[in-house]
Amino acid sequence: MNMNFSERAATLEVTACSYSVRKALRKADVFMRNEKAVGLIIPRDREIEKYDDALRNVLRSTKRSELYAQCAVEVSHRGNANWLQAADILKAKTGVVLLIPHGVAIPSDIRVSLDEVMQVEEIRPSHLVAAIKTLRREPTTLEEARLLLSYPQDLIFQALRPGRSVQQALARLSDAVEAKAERPPIGPVSFGVEELPGFGQAKEWALDLAEDLRGWTHGSLAWSDIDCGLLLSGPPGTGKTMFAQAVAKTCGAAFVSASCATWQAKGHLGDFLAAMRKTFSEAAEKAPCILFLDEFDAVGDRAKFRGDNANYCVQVVNGILEALDGSPRRDGVVVIAATNYPDAIDPALRRPGRLDRHIKVELPDHDARKDILTLHLGTEVSPDVLAHSARATRGYSGAALAQLARDARKQARRAGRSVTADDVRAVTPSLMPLDPFTRRTACVHEAGHAVVGTELAYGEIAVITVVRELSPCDDSAGYVVWRRTKLLQRTRGSYANEIATVLGGRAAEEVVLGFVTDGSGGMNGSDLHRAADIATVMEATLGMGHGLSYSDVKTSEDIEKLRRSDPVLRKRVEKLLTAELERAKEIVRKRLEDVDTLAKEIMKRELLSGDEVREMLARR
């Protein structure tokens, strides 16, 4: 069948997506258990139609098409999902694969029907290599794939036109990036960092920097006394670029922006290093200057480089180390590097004199979200409406909130008027009230964590909350925040107590309610995920289990791979988890009235402070 260029590009993208979908299905054991019902959450800002096609490809290639009913949940422009088809399929079929857009709240009747909810990963370099080899019969290196994926995904597959090699596609993408860089920046920030809500420590660092730069400019402060390097990490969309621009405005400094993707434009090591040195020279000529380096994790870590491109990558790191070094030619240049993955950066880049300060930027809390909306919408909209929008956008990044404000202004613009409360309400996602049964279950779960942790002296409770309404980004109805003293050395009992506390919610459900829900597992960061990781580390690296062997694992992904590859370790971890769950259940049985009283109080109040919890438990 003849396909046009656009169709071929879409087919290549779908094929690349298929590998991420296949991995998620394997993790969910779908290919082993035909009766499973699994929800797959696609990556943020990706088209669900492409992942629907990818899912069909995977099931067809594994001869599972007839065993699974497939359903992609569609979302309206107002952010409301249509779950009716999914509900009907889940009632009628045993084997179901449900595709769910990122950030959409899953109703309780759907979630309870699903055996697992998995996050589909973004396309990886190995996936792209395999897709190009399958469809284009063209060998591609992982380094070339990594470079391709450093560009916007919609451009990648358009650049890989038939008859054009990967190297030519990279050249085209590089030209597009250079052309974009030559254009003046769109919409530079008109405010300083002091006006930015939600940046905490980073804002304090910036205000100190502004004062120090004034002293350096006037000759009263040596450059060696200034913090001239910052690594800013955090989830996508938290405003790291905007923060760097605002810092430049507050400091009265020039602003220069670059990334490995722009330095890599022509592909050769010499060209990369020359472009990098040119950027640092440009910043030095404009001193005082804020040099912003985006997606800094692309530099990598020399300890992890393997294969034919290892030497190239090592030279890249060495070149940036030289450029960052505190030599006189960097006087007046403050480097702010941004990343979503700080652990992927070579430790030498973060030593004193380079990027010596590391600050994590978290997703904004309720007050910060309200301030961000006020910043973008002004004071025309009433505080009550902004407070409601802030509540309904739990889990939103600063970028997502800016988009919501743009949507509200667009509605007003089309109506030929200024923004009103109705415009904001129209683009704000709907809050989903928790039914009494679900909320009661969540209150018992959090009370179990609190009582077990208190009994085992796990830490000091700061706050307990269980919300009455869920926002689209919420993946949990409640949580307990603990304050803990960091210990230099910990005993086996300390780790065991942590596991028991983490499993305290599941223990309370089983003892108090007589059943367990999926609230303890099903996703990264869940209670079961945390408990399994702690148990694995005890058994495999700390010598606190049944053996004294040591394995070098640093990330949760490393820990999971280790468990999967070692059946003996899996049995030991399961044994340890079972023992600590039984211990948590015994504590809940012993303090059943405490759990019940605390759960009822959370049900009434929604939020309890640590002092209130301690007073309540002390009275009993």
CATH of the domain at 258: 3.40.50.300
pLDDT, greater one: 311 or 187:
311
Check whether residue 60 and residue 109 sit in a common domain. yes
Check whether residue 350 and residue 373 sit in a common domain. no
The strand pair at 357-360 and 229-233 is best described as: parallel
pLDDT, greater one: 576 or 486:
576
Which residue in 116, 446, 455, 539 is the catalytic one?
A: 446
For 604-608, what is the mean pLDDT? 87
Instruction: Dump pLDDT digits (tens) for 171-226.
Output: 777 766 554 444 334 345 667 887 777 788 888 898 999 888 888 888 888 888 88
Catalytic-residue membership of 7: no
Per-residue pLDDT band for 115 (boundaries 50, 70, 90) equals confident
**Any domain includes 219:** yes
60 pLDDT exceeds 50? yes
**Any domain includes 187:** no
Burial of 428 (0-12, 13-18, 19+ CB in 10 A): buried
394 pLDDT exceeds 50? yes
For 309-325, what is the mean pLDDT? 78
Check whether residue 96 and residue 137 sit in a common domain. no
Check whether residue 333 and residue 390 sit in a common domain. no
Q: Tell me what the pLDDT averaged over the chain comes to.
A: 82
Check whether residue 492 and residue 598 sit in a common domain. yes
Instruction: Dump pLDDT digits (tens) for 471-481.
Output: 777 777 888 98
User: Domain boundary residue among 360, 390, 407?
Assistant: 360
User: What's the pLDDT at 532?
Assistant: 94
User: What's the pLDDT at 134?
Assistant: 78
The domain tally of the chain equals 5
45 pLDDT exceeds 70? no
**Any domain includes 188:** no
Give Cα 56 to chain centroid, integer Å: 27
Residue count of the chain, please give it. Answer: 620
**Any domain includes 601:** yes
User: What's the pLDDT at 515?
Assistant: 93
**Any domain includes 346:** yes
**Any domain includes 198:** yes
Q: What is the CATH number of the domain that holds 421?
A: 1.10.8.60
User: What's the pLDDT at 187?
Assistant: 40
Burial of 288 (0-12, 13-18, 19+ CB in 10 A): buried
Check whether residue 592 and residue 452 sit in a common domain. yes
Check whether residue 530 and residue 517 sit in a common domain. yes
Check whether residue 285 and residue 339 sit in a common domain. yes
User: Domain boundary residue among 304, 333, 360?
Assistant: 360
End-to-end CA distance of the chain: 75
Check whether residue 473 and residue 602 sit in a common domain. yes
Predicted TM-score (pTM) of the model is 0.59
Separation CA 528–CA 530 (nearest Å) = 5
2 pLDDT exceeds 90? no
Separation CA 605–CA 521 (nearest Å) = 26
For 335-351, what is the mean pLDDT? 84
Please, are residues 474 and 432 in contact by the beta-carbon 8 Å criterion? no
Check whether residue 241 and residue 345 sit in a common domain. yes
Among 233, 243, 227, smallest CA distance to 344 is for 233
105 pLDDT exceeds 80? no
304 pLDDT exceeds 80? no
Check whether residue 349 and residue 211 sit in a common domain. yes
**Any domain includes 571:** yes
Check whether residue 411 and residue 490 sit in a common domain. no
User: What's the pLDDT at 1?
Assistant: 38
Among 193, 152, 145, smallest CA distance to 173 is for 152
Other C-beta atoms lying within 10 Å of the C-beta of residue 507 = 29
User: Domain boundary residue among 360, 384, 418?
Assistant: 360
Give Cα 14 to chain centroid, integer Å: 23
Domain that holds residue 273: 193-360
3 pLDDT exceeds 50? no
Which range among 48-52, 493-497, 579-583 shows the weakest confidence by mean pLDDT?
48-52
